Amino acid sequence: MLIEYDGGPFHGWQRQAGGQPTVQGVIEAALARLEAGPHTIAAAGRTDSGVHATGQVAHCDLIKAWDPDRLAGAINAHTRGWPVSVLRIVRVADDFHARFSALERRYLFRMVSRRAEVTHDAGHVWQVPHRLDVEAMRAGAAYLIGKHDFTTFRALHCQAASPVKTLDAIGISEHPYPSGLEVRFTLRARSFLHNQVRSIVGTLDRVGAGAWAPERVGEALAACDRSACGPVSPPDGLYMTGVGYPLDPFG
Among 24, 27, 58, 23, which residue's Cα sits nearest to residue 43?
Answer: 58
Q: What are the Cα distances from residue 204, in Å, to 61, 78, 196?
A: 41, 41, 12
C-alpha to C-alpha distance for 214 and 207, rounded to whole angstroms: 6
Q: How many CA atoms lie within 13 A of 33 on its CB side?
A: 12
C-alpha to C-alpha distance for 196 and 89, rounded to whole angstroms: 29
Asked if residue 249 has a cis previous peptide bond (ω within 30° of 0), the answer is no
Catalytic pick among 48, 95, 133, 236:
48
In the chain, which ranges are E strands?
A: 2-5, 42-43, 52-59, 84-88, 104-113, 126-128, 146-149, 164-177, 180-189, 238-244
Examine the residue annotation and report whether 48 is marked as an active-site residue of this protein: yes
DSSP string, 77-93: HHTTTSSEEEEE-----
Do residues 173 and 150 touch, judged by C-beta distance below 8 A?
Answer: no
C-alpha to C-alpha distance for 150 and 166, rounded to whole angstroms: 9
Catalytic residues, by residue number, are 48
